[in-house]
Structure 1
Amino acid sequence: MSKRSAVKNKAKERDSSGVNPRQPCPCGSGKRYKACHGSAGGVVDVPVARPFEGLAYECELVALREFVPSGTATLKVKGDREVVLATVLPMAAAGLVRADDVPFLGLQVQTRSNDISRDLARALEWLLDAKAGDVLPVVSPETDAGAEPVRLQDLVEVDAELAVEVHADFGWWLPEGSEPSGEVALSLERANQAIMPTERIGPAAYWVDAGEKAHLRWVRPEPEEQLLAAMARLHARGELVLGEGSRYAGSFRAHGLLVPVWDLDPEKHAREWTTAAEELGARLEAALATLDGEPLTGEERRARDGLLGRQITIR
């Protein structure tokens, strides 16, 4: 066979999705692509930029998924049911029912598709039928309860409040009075050792003690272009800070939202930044309200360009 023919044959091995049919399917099912999403009638898994869009607590979910080490919140499920939403579970399980029959849904898990909302829905459907002691290590398309895939937004009360509780350790993994043993004990010990002290000081705003520095990480709901313009307006006036001992460090994108980060004086307690964060939030809201009628000045545009240079994307 000529080299040209070999190249042509290899090109034919890939379909329009760019995936080699002989390779494992990107959805994580464990099957070859040609026997899964690459089969006739298969569905190509398109990445979802904002998997939690439409939920009133979208920003909190991004924070719990990406950087809050130990946190829980009661998730209201349609049909007047509740499960405990958790940052991370023992062995990074997707779901488990504790010995006292309390169901937990894990956020910080290995994803098996390009839509975290769909993975969470798969785990949630499993949880609703699980019994005390059951554990779901991972989710995959085979976890689907029905023929039609669902997303988290289809199963939960989208307008409900999400009261997040941040914990100093992972003792909540176990029922009160229980003693860990075996792999759970090892996992609990390692998880507790890795925790960075974290406190919630406002809606989707979290103070984190990283040792030499402390940070404020704040997941914002606004469209990125509008938020950057408002931040640039404040930055040009020297108002994009939380007062003495703080400076704007940059921002990162996570699940379609922008997360600005400030460096803070680690000697101050988290509560000492609460009022400053509220005042900064009010300044941001006021700046956002001016954008329609007042285009950015030259100085503000330069400030925006500087802010753009301090961005990264993690999801």
Structure 2
Amino acid sequence: MAGMAKKSRTKSRPAQPAGEVGPRQPCPCGSGKRYKACHGAPGGAAGVYVGRPFEGMPSECDVVALRELVPAATARLTLKGDADRVVQLCSLLPMAAPAMVRDNGEIWLGLQVQHNFGDPARDLGAVLEAALTAEPGVVGLTDPPGEGPRIQDLISDETLTIAVHDGFGFWVADVDEADRAAAEAALDQANAAANPTARLTSVEAAYWTNVGTKEHLRWVMPEPEDRLLDALARLHAAGKDVLVEDSRFVGMFRAHGLLAPVWDLPVGTGPEALEEPAERFAADLAAALADDSDLTSEERSARSGLANRQVTIR
């Protein structure tokens, strides 16, 4: 998050509405192109870009976190009309595969994939539909999926139970020793790149991680961006956004239409020490969200500073 507060030295431009993507900004689809040359251009990219693709999906904030922030985690999905078929949502699968049909018939869906056709919820729906009738092996997309059900249309609305793993051992938990040995090199490489991560239990979609030189709390929140920025500005101006001693609220990621505030934490903090402060912050945030009075000059200044510390990752 370093450098997020730097101000542009170029001539000021008219402000764009919160949450919208400027034509010269990177396209949120992840292509690396500017928005005006990708999903912002008529016919310039395959598929229709959806700003908040997982809206209406159970545990939307956790799904966004697993797609963008969490290295190794899983959650069981329940299919409409076939509750007995095991479908497991995974943050990442081997080789960033979109899906795998296991030898036992289980379907594993990957969130962190290399393709993006504008609506990852539709991509997931198409992959799931293909996996339901596929033989064991990898299932993927090579072309835009076209019209059809999104993942929200295919699963129940039950809240997801998120399991965060120490590494990717779950990839080989159900395979025999011979096959497991063959996968050891890939498994070791994936584990080496996975920072220790834990999901807090006192609040929803808040994830602690240790990146070695420091620790972070990254918390995906469901509120509309404008309302959330107002509320965060009120808390920042009041000094109520410090979670633990020497922690610092450093900015926000924007991913799939949601904001994820980020705190820097001293090394050695750990997730347990954050449970009570996070619960307290959630209560303060709820009160700030319910406050519809005009922002004070100090709060407006805080809001402007916070708005400058946003990084769009999707």
Paired letter, 2:164:
V
Measured in 1, the distance between the counterparts of 2:258 and 2:115 equals 19
Contact 2:59 2:160 in 1 (8 A): yes
Paired letter, 1:68:
V
Counterpart check, 1:96 vs 2:95: no
| CA deviation string 1:191-228 (max 9, x = no partner) | 01111000000311000001111000000000000000
Paired letter, 2:165:
H
Q: 1:77 aligns with which of 71, 74, 79?
A: 79
Structure 2 residue aligned with 1:64:
66
Shift of 1:150: 2.0
SS at match of 1:121: helix
Shift of 1:44: 6.1
Counterpart check, 1:128 vs 2:132: yes
Shift of 1:190: 0.8
Q: Which runs of 5+ in 1 are unaligned?
A: 1-25, 27-36
TM-score after normalising by structure 1: 0.80
Q: 2:50 aligns with which of 35, 42, 48?
A: 48
Shift of 1:177: 6.4
The structure with higher relative contact order (CA 8 Å, sep 6+) is: 2
Structure 2 residue aligned with 1:163:
161
**Coordinate RMSD, CA, aligned:** 2.0
Contact 2:217 2:263 in 1 (8 A): yes
Of all paired residues, the percent bearing the same amino acid is 49
Shift of 1:126: 1.6
Most deviating of 256-265 and 100-109:
100-109
Measured in 2, the distance between the counterparts of 1:56 and 1:90 equals 25
SS at match of 2:306: helix
Measured in 2, the distance between the counterparts of 1:86 and 1:273 equals 25
Paired letter, 1:56:
P
Task: Find runs of 4+ consecutive structure 1 residues off by over 4 angstroms.
Answer: none
Contact 1:112 1:140 in 2 (8 A): no
Measured in 1, the distance between the counterparts of 2:134 and 2:173 equals 17
Count of aligned pairs: 267
Structure 2 residue aligned with 1:313:
312
Measured in 1, the distance between the counterparts of 2:82 and 2:130 equals 17
| CA deviation string 1:209-248 (max 9, x = no partner) | 0111100000000000000000000011100121313110
153 and 243 in structure 1: CA distance in 2 versus 1, 3 angstrom threshold: same
Contact 1:98 1:174 in 2 (8 A): no
SS at match of 2:213: coil
SS at match of 1:150: coil
Contact 2:46 2:117 in 1 (8 A): no
Contact 2:208 2:270 in 1 (8 A): no
Structure 1 residue aligned with 2:213:
212
Structure 1 residue aligned with 2:301:
302
Contact 1:50 1:256 in 2 (8 A): yes
228 and 128 in structure 1: CA distance in 2 versus 1, 3 angstrom threshold: same
Paired letter, 1:135:
V
Aligned counterparts, 1:171-182, within 5 A: 171-176=169-174, 178-179=176-177, 180-182=180-182
